[in-house]
Amino acid sequence: MNARFSAPLTIIATLAAGMAAAEAGPCSKQIAAFEQSVRTSEKNPDAGPTGREGVAAKLGHQPTRESVAQAEQRANETFRQALARAKALDARGKRSCMQALSRAKDLFDLQ
């Protein structure tokens, strides 16, 4: 499923916005390093946001183009929100940004 997780513009925009906001929070360096890894992974068609396997897949049903597109959209949005949460916590100086960043990392397959 090569087209499954192509790097959408929303992720690129989120990463670009994060570069400007990366200052002296407790997770700033880790967030910046992860964002660099995400940008580097754009060349890999198998890398990108991931989601949970649906019930239909477990039953052996083949996905439709629409269901694949919906899954991609959900995965991209969930990843974008997780990364934004890590950045927001970092900007407020909260150490819980590490947990939020870990969640974002779990949602993105760097391959």
User: Contact 79/108 with Cβ under 8 angstroms?
Assistant: yes
Domain ranges of the chain: 2-109
Per-residue model confidence as pLDDT tens digits over 83-98: 999 999 999 999 999 9
| Token pair of 23 as six digits | 């200052």
Element (H, E) at 34: helix 28-41
CB neighbour class for 95 (10 Å; exposed up to 12, middle 13-18, buried from 19):
exposed
Q: Provide the strand spans (E) within 1-111.
A: 48-49, 108-109
Q: Which two tokens stand for residue 73?
A: 């959209």
What's this model's pTM, rounded to 2 decimal places?
A: 0.72
Q: Angle at CA 57, nearest 5°, toward 54 and 62?
A: 130
54-71 pLDDT, tens per residue? 676 677 778 889 988 998
pLDDT in tens, 3-19: 454 555 455 555 555 55
From first CA to last CA, the distance across the chain in angstroms is: 14
Instruction: Please name which of 11, 24, 57, 34 lies closest in space to residue 110, comparing C-alpha atoms.
Output: 34
